[in-house]
Amino acid sequence: MKRIACIVISVFCAAALSSCGIYSFSGTSIKPDVQTITIEPVVNNALKINPTLANSFTEALKDKFKKLTSLKDVEEDGDLQLIVTIESYDVRAQAVTANEVAAQNRLTITAKATFINVLHPEENFENKQFAAYQDYNSELSLDAVEASLCDDILDTLVEDIFNASVAQW
């Protein structure tokens, strides 16, 4: 009898959650009438240019939305539109030793995002800034660690932009 009650309660809860239409187990709060998204190619406005960064950023954003939403990716005029620019790509000394030599460096990438929800404009934001960084040992050259640092930084930026846009965190 307890088993049947558990099954009935589970079915009831699943039906209640799916019937509201805006709850998702991925944490998104996309309204049911929103069907498409346009993710513009990321533009790199940083003074120091990493030639593959903008394309990697664009693809990471598209992958995130494809994996965690049921939105269809369209080239233009999506119900949701995401425009991202890389504003800075900086390396700075982070930890200095007693001999005034950098022991650690920090690579920081800053981006600005504009999110447009055509159907629900109250969710829009414009030029919202996002930044992420990774530290690395100064004995290593940036060239030696740049690819892995950028991957980690992009993961953080993509997660933050995703949460700000469709999860509204």
Structure tokens at 141: 């050259």
Model confidence at 63, in pLDDT bands (50, 70, 90)?
very high
Q: How confident is the model at residue 29 (pLDDT cuts 50, 70, 90)?
A: confident
pLDDT at 119 over 50: yes
Region 120-147: mean pLDDT is: 94
> What is the average per-residue pLDDT within 69-85?
96
Choice among 1-5, 31-35, 165-169 with the minimum mean pLDDT: 1-5
> Residue 105's pLDDT is what?
92
pLDDT of 34 > 70? The answer is yes
Q: What percent of the chain has pLDDT over 90?
A: 70
Cα(first)–Cα(last) distance of the chain, in Å?
A: 41
Position 3 confidence tier, pLDDT thresholds 50, 70, 90: low
Report the mean per-residue pLDDT for the chain. Answer: 86
The residue that leads in pLDDT, 137 or 7, is 137
CA 57, 62, 67, 69 torsion: positive or negative?
positive
Domains by residue range for the chain, with CATH: 33-167 (3.30.160.150)
- pLDDT at residue 116 is higher than 80: yes
Determine the average pLDDT of the residues in 128-140.
Answer: 95
More confident residue, 9 or 103: 103
